[in-house]
């Protein structure tokens, strides 16, 4: 059943809209953010497959329906890497995913306008599960949040946060923050990508 203000109709993935960056207030801990390695209790449900995007009243383009939708990198590519610019962003996501897997990360969450109906998103937003990650093997860029994550965007065309890191403006972990639409305030979906057996990462993990 559709939520209040939402259309039940599924839509094609790419509808133009205007990008407005989310606000992030300075924090005394590590630049812009408070950091915690303890996971909060998450209120979510999991879905298998990437569902069609839906319209939310107040949002400029269609979004994923609420929930955490598990998908492989290939499934993400099929749904969202549908023009040259989006494929370029996807290549950065795959590169970053391989580096995270080498450090022991087993799952990332994908959000932002990349997983919306916006035809040319500025970048992608992702967060990575820190459980089991070997800090000595983690590329330092994943903990470099200076200048609006400029080093991450330069390297991967997207930005990454530990999923348990707290966004100072809202007081919630990024994996939860990602599930709220900043335009309408409604709950929306994100993509969960398991990394350990993803075929697109074969050969990218050094023994």
Q: What is the pLDDT of residues 85-114, one digit of tens each?
A: 999 999 999 999 999 999 999 999 999 899
Strand partners, 158: none
- Whole-prediction pTM value? 0.74
Q: Is the dihedral of CA 64, 123, 21, 29 positive or negative?
A: positive
Q: Phi and psi (nearest 5°) for 78?
A: -65, -35
Question: Count of residues for the chain?
Answer: 207
β-pairing verdict for 125-128 and 67-70: unpaired
What's the pLDDT tens digit per position in 4-42?
Answer: 444 434 433 333 222 222 222 222 223 332 333 333 333
Classify burial at 19, counting beta carbons within 10 Å of its beta carbon; exposed 0-12, middle 13-18, buried 19 or more.
Answer: middle
Contact 61, 188 (CB under 8 A): no
Which residues neighbour 202 within 8 Å (Cβ) at sequence distance 6 or greater? none
């Amino acid at each position: 059943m559709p939520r209040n203000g939402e259309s039940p109709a599924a839509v094609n993935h790419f509808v133009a809209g205007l990008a407005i960056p989310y606000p992030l207030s300075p924090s005394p801990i590590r630049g812009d953010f408070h950091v915690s390695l303890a996971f909060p209790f998450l209120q979510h449900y999991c879905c298998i497959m990437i569902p069609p995007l839906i319209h939310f009243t107040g949002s400029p383009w269609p979004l994923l329906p609420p929930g955490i939708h598990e998908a492989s990198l290939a499934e993400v590519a099929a749904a969202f890497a549908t023009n040259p610019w989006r494929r370029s962003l996807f290549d950065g996501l795959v590169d970053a995913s391989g580096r995270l897997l080498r450090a022991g990360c087993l799952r990332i969450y994908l959000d932002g306008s990349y997983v919306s109906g916006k035809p040319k998103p500025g970048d992608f937003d992702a967060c990575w599960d820190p459980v089991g990650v070997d800090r000595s093997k983690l590329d330092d860029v994943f903990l470099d949040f200076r200048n609006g994550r400029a080093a991450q965007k330069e390297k991967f065309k997207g930005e990454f946060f530990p999923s348990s890191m707290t966004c100072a403006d809202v007081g919630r972990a990024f994996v939860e923050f990602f599930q709220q639409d900043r335009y309408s305030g409604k709950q929306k979906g994100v993509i969960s990508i398991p990394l350990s057996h993803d075929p697109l990462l074969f050969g990218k993990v050094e023994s």
